[in-house]
């Protein structure tokens, strides 16, 4: 990356905040966009990493040989700057990575966690490049940028006395060293005002068989769903798009302003899961359906193809994020049970949560509702998102916005967008319940029917087929007689 441009209004606000702060160092996330087509990086905002559950900051300075816990935080002083040679910068890398993981869920298409920033004096920065590079690598692993070949992240350094900004590219190679940093051009300008907005309401209905043969080495419910999402991502890549109802040249730029409506046309594919299988191979059907609202922001100089790639990526990331929210909640419940604080019924602990079920081994129907996506106004005309469980209200947004993105909590709920009408759901059922839902007399009562039930169903099916065949033969015979009579009359 040759040049990085930061949003001047936001970064000036960050600088003012740091000037008023009494902390000697601060670490946080860089929210922005990397445009490979323009070979440029754009920085929208810098978000400080909050204190951890114990109330300790994510970065601190240790002077001399004193214990690290005694010098966390601290204030700026001349004596501290004069003893830099005896000081070192420490960063809670795991906590910064966890912050990045949660923030990445709240970002929409064209917005990513593209690196970290550190506010510390020049000398300590130079002596701490290794720990900073390791922190960048941890953030990159926690906040993955899918379908991107960009193997670098940004490290922005803000020094004080005098205040100065520098930006470096940090390579994500497996062997992180201080030489992984390379300088790049950094300047401030207008970034948010040059963004164009793309919106898509994406409806999907995926039905896949559950195979009996994988029972011995089956994955969990959540693992199978991740595979489905990844497989659907490959199909979505080849989808053609309509923008504002028209086919467009994806290599051109989008000239008009406003919100651009996107529709995707998914091509038919010869997926192996749709091939014919015997009833001994298939134990059930997995039905994954719903409606997703997606936003993406693209620089006005980027081609339309980049905006479409961003919104496709946002659709898939949204599905992954919803599943992550469910799994995180499940892990929390299992931890509480392990600690002895979980609820029990008649002395028996709760059953295994659905995300951890083994589908091939389960004979009970399962149904799982995914969190719905809502959108909160962020910077300029942009939105960030959050996920609300069916039992939650919009009040949970306030804590997330304040803690994770260091922004003011939304006070007017009318500004929050709730465009998803149909919730995303995933369910399992028997094969016959899905294929022939209108004929209950043909459906087995369960996946473990007796041989008598199977034979009776087959018998009714054969009787109906025989009746249809006889009626068809009679109809053909009558038509043949009528045609013969008419031909004889015309000939006469």
Structure confidence by residue, pLDDT tens digits, 437-492: 444 443 433 333 333 444 343 444 434 445 556 776 777 777 778 877 777 777 76
Reply yes or no on whether the pLDDT at 69 is more than 60: no
Count of domains forming the chain: 2
Give the pLDDT score at 315. 96
Reply yes or no on whether the pLDDT at 411 is more than 60: yes
Give the pLDDT score at 310. 95
Where is pLDDT greater, at 273 or 90?
A: 90
Q: Is-contact 170 129, C-beta < 8 A?
A: no
Q: Are residues 185 and 238 in the same domain?
A: no
Confirm whether 233 is domain-assigned. yes
Q: Are residues 280 and 175 in the same domain?
A: no
pLDDT-based confidence at 151, cuts 50/70/90? Answer: confident
Reply yes or no on whether the pLDDT at 300 is more than 50: yes
Confirm whether 363 is domain-assigned. yes
Confirm whether 22 is domain-assigned. yes
Q: Are residues 110 and 206 in the same domain?
A: no
Confirm whether 400 is domain-assigned. no
Q: Can you tell me the mean pLDDT for 61-66? A: 70
Query: HEC states along 16-70?
Result: HHHHHCCCCCEEEEEEEEEECCCCEEEEEEEEECCCCCCCCCCEEEEECCCCHHH
Reply yes or no on whether the pLDDT at 88 is more than 80: yes
Q: Are residues 232 and 139 in the same domain?
A: no
Query: HEC states along the chain?
Result: CCEEEEEHHHHHHHHHHHHHCCCCCEEEEEEEEEECCCCEEEEEEEEECCCCCCCCCCEEEEECCCCHHHCCCCCCCHHHHHCHHHEEEEECHHHHHHHHHHHHHCCCECCEEEEEEEECCHHHHHCCHHHHHHHHHHHHHHCCCCCCCCCEEEEEEEECCCCEEEEEEEECCCCCCHHHEEEEEEEEECCHHHEEEEEEEEEEEEEEEEEHHHHHHCCEHHHHHHHHHHHHHHHHHCCEEEECCECCCCCCECCCCCEEEEEEECCCCCCHHHCCCCCCCEEEEEEEEEEEEEEEEEECCCEHHHHHHHHHHHHHHHHHHHHHHHHHHHHHHHHHHHCCCCCEECCEECCCCHHHCEHHHCCCCCEEECCEEEEEECCCCCEEEEEECCCCCCCHHHHHHHHHHCCCCCCCHHHCECCCCCCCEEEEECHHHHHCCCCHHHCCCCCCCCHHHHHHHHHHHHHHHHHHHHHHHHHHHHHHHHHHHHHHHHHC
pLDDT-based confidence at 346, cuts 50/70/90? Answer: very low
Reply yes or no on whether the pLDDT at 113 is more than 80: yes
Give the pLDDT score at 279. 59
Give the pLDDT score at 301. 93
Residue 150: closest CA among 298, 4, 41, 29? 41
How far is Cα 372 from Cα 68, in angstroms, rounded to an integer? 42
Confirm whether 449 is domain-assigned. no
pLDDT-based confidence at 106, cuts 50/70/90? Answer: very high
CATH number at residue 77: 3.40.140.10
Reply yes or no on whether the pLDDT at 377 is more than 60: yes
Phi-psi region of 73 (alpha: psi -120 to 50; beta: other; left: phi over 0): left
Give the pLDDT score at 180. 79
Q: Can you tell me the mean pLDDT for 54-64? A: 88
Q: Is-contact 350 333, C-beta < 8 A?
A: yes
* pLDDT single digits (tens) 13-34: 999 999 888 888 999 999 999 9
Phi, psi of 167 (to 5 degrees): -135, 140
Where is pLDDT greater, at 393 or 319?
A: 319
Q: Are residues 12 and 97 in the same domain?
A: yes
Reply yes or no on whether the pLDDT at 272 is more than 70: no
Give the pLDDT score at 363. 59
Confirm whether 401 is domain-assigned. no
Give the end of a domain, one of 132, 164, 190: 190
Q: Are residues 106 and 136 in the same domain?
A: yes
Domain membership of residue 303 as a residue range: 195-341+349-370+423-435
Reply yes or no on whether the pLDDT at 126 is more than 80: yes
Looking at the chain, the whole-number percentage of residues with pLDDT higher than 90 is 43
Give the pLDDT score at 286. 81
Q: Is-contact 189 157, C-beta < 8 A?
A: no
pTM for this predicted structure? 0.78
pLDDT-based confidence at 241, cuts 50/70/90? Answer: very high
pLDDT-based confidence at 432, cuts 50/70/90? Answer: very low
Which position has the token pair 């799982």? 368
Reply yes or no on whether the pLDDT at 358 is more than 60: yes
Q: Are residues 355 and 210 in the same domain?
A: yes
Q: Are residues 133 and 265 in the same domain?
A: no
Confirm whether 408 is domain-assigned. no
Q: Which tokens hold the place of 224?
A: 């199978």
Give the end of a domain, one of 393, 410, 435: 435
Q: Are residues 275 and 185 in the same domain?
A: no
Confirm whether 222 is domain-assigned. yes
Q: Specify the range with the lowest mean pLDDT, choosing from 54-58, 123-127, 162-166, 279-283.
A: 279-283
Q: Is-contact 180 141, C-beta < 8 A?
A: no
Q: Which tokens hold the place of 46?
A: 């810098």
Q: Are residues 234 and 145 in the same domain?
A: no
Q: Is-contact 197 297, C-beta < 8 A?
A: yes
Give the end of a domain, one of 435, 462, 487: 435
Q: Which tokens hold the place of 331?
A: 């892990």
Q: Can you tell me the mean pLDDT for 132-159? A: 90
Give the pLDDT score at 345. 37
Q: Are residues 213 and 99 in the same domain?
A: no
Q: Are residues 268 and 134 in the same domain?
A: no
Q: Is-contact 170 152, C-beta < 8 A?
A: yes
How far is Cα 82 from Cα 66, in angstroms, rounded to an integer? 17
Q: Is the peptide bond before 455 cis (omega within 30 degrees of 0)?
A: no
Residue 143: closest CA among 231, 49, 23, 219? 49
């Amino acid at each position: 990356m040759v040049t990085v441009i930061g949003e001047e209004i936001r970064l000036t606000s960050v600088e003012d905040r740091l000037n008023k702060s009494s902390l000697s160092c601060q670490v946080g996330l860089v929210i922005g966009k990397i445009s490979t087509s323009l070979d440029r990086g754009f920085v929208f905002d810098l978000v400080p990493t909050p204190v951890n559950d114990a109330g300790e900051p994510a970065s601190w300075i240790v002077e001399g040989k004193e214990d690290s816990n005694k010098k966390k935080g601290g204030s700026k002083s001349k004596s501290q700057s004069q003893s830099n040679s005896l000081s070192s910068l420490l960063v809670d890398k795991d906590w910064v990575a966890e912050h990045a993981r949660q923030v990445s869920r709240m970002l929409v298409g064209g917005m990513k966690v593209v690196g970290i920033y550190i506010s510390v004096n020049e000398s300590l920065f130079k002596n701490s490049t290794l720990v900073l590079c390791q922190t960048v690598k941890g953030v990159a692993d926690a906040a993955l940028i899918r379908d991107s070949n960009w193997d670098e992240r940004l490290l922005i350094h803000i020094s004080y006395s005098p205040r100065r900004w520098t930006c470096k590219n940090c390579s994500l190679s497996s062997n992180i060293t201080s030489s992984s940093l390379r300088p790049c051009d950094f300047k401030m300008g207008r970034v948010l005002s040059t963004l164009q907005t793309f919106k898509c309401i994406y409806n999907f209905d995926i039905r896949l068989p559950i195979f009996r043969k994988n029972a011995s080495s089956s994955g969990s419910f959540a693992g199978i769903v991740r595979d489905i999402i990844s497989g659907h991502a490959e199909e979505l890549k080849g989808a053609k798009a309509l923008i504002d109802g028209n086919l467009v040249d994806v290599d051109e730029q989008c000239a008009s302003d406003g919100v651009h409506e996107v529709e995707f046309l998914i091509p038919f594919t010869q997926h192996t899961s749709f091939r014919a299988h015997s009833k001994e191979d298939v134990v059930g059907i997995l039905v994954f359906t719903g409606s997703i609202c997606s936003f993406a922001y693209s620089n006005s100089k980027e081609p339309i193809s980049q905006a479409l790639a961003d919104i496709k990526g946002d659709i898939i990331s949204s599905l992954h994020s919803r599943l992550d929210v469910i799994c995180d909640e499940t892990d929390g419940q299992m931890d509480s049970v392990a600690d002895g604080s979980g609820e029990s019924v008649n002395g028996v602990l709760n059953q295994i949560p659905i995300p951890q079920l083994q589908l091939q081994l389960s004979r009970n129907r399962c149904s799982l509702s995914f969190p719905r996506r809502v959108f909160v106004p962020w910077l300029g005309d942009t939105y960030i998102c959050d996920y609300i469980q069916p039992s939650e209200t919009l009040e949970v947004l306030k804590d997330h916005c304040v803690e994770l993105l260091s922004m003011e909590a939304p006070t007017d709920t009318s500004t929050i967008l709730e465009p998803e009408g149909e919730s995303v759901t995933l369910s399992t059922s028997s094969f016959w319940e899905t294929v022939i839902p209108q004929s209950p007399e043909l459906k087995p009562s369960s996946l473990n029917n007796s041989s008598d039930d199977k034979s009776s169903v087959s018998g009714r099916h054969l009787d109906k087929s025989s009746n249809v065949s006889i009626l068809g033969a009679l109809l053909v015979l009558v038509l043949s007689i009528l045609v013969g009579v008419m031909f004889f009359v015309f000939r006469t």
